[in-house]
Amino acid sequence: MGIATVNPATGETVKTFEPLTPEEIEAKLAKAQDRFLEYRHTSFAQRSQWMNKAAEILERDQVELGKIMTLEMGKTIKSAIAEAKKCASVCRYYADNAEEFLKDVPASTDASSSFVRFQPLGIILAVMPWNFPFWQVFRFVAPTLMAGNVGILKHASNVPQCALKIEEILTEAGFPDGAFQTLLIGASQVESIINDDRVKAATLTGSEFAGASLAAAAGKQIKKTVLELGGSDPFIVLDSADIEAAASSATAARMLNSGQSCIAAKRFIVAESVADHFEKLLVEKFSALKVGDPMDEATDIGPLATPDILDDIDQQVQKSVAMGARVLIGGKALEGAGNFYLPTILTDIPPNSPADKEEFFGPVASLFRVKTLDEAIELANSTTFGLGASGWTTDPHEQERIINEVEAGAVFINGMVKSDPRLPFGGTKISGYGRELGIYGIQEFVNIKTVWIK
C-beta of 398: minimal distance to ligand NDP in Å? 29
Closer to ligand NDP at the Cβ: 51 or 190? 190
C-beta of 133: minimal distance to ligand NDP in Å? 10
CB 71 within 8 A of CB 10: no
Closer to ligand NDP at the Cβ: 187 or 252? 187
C-beta of 441: minimal distance to ligand NDP in Å? 15
Closer to ligand NDP at the Cβ: 246 or 265? 265
Closer to ligand NDP at the Cβ: 70 or 157? 157
C-beta of 236: minimal distance to ligand NDP in Å? 21
Closer to ligand NDP at the Cβ: 72 or 300? 72
Closer to ligand NDP at the Cβ: 70 or 97? 70
C-beta of 256: minimal distance to ligand NDP in Å? 11
Residue 47 one-letter amino acid: R
Contacts to ligand NDP by CB under 6 A: 127-131, 154-157, 186-187, 190, 205-207, 210, 213-214, 228-230, 262, 359, 361
C-beta of 188: minimal distance to ligand NDP in Å? 7
Residues serving a catalytic function are 228, 262
Closer to ligand NDP at the Cβ: 121 or 193? 193
List 446's β-bridge partners, or say none: 120
C-beta of 414: minimal distance to ligand NDP in Å? 24
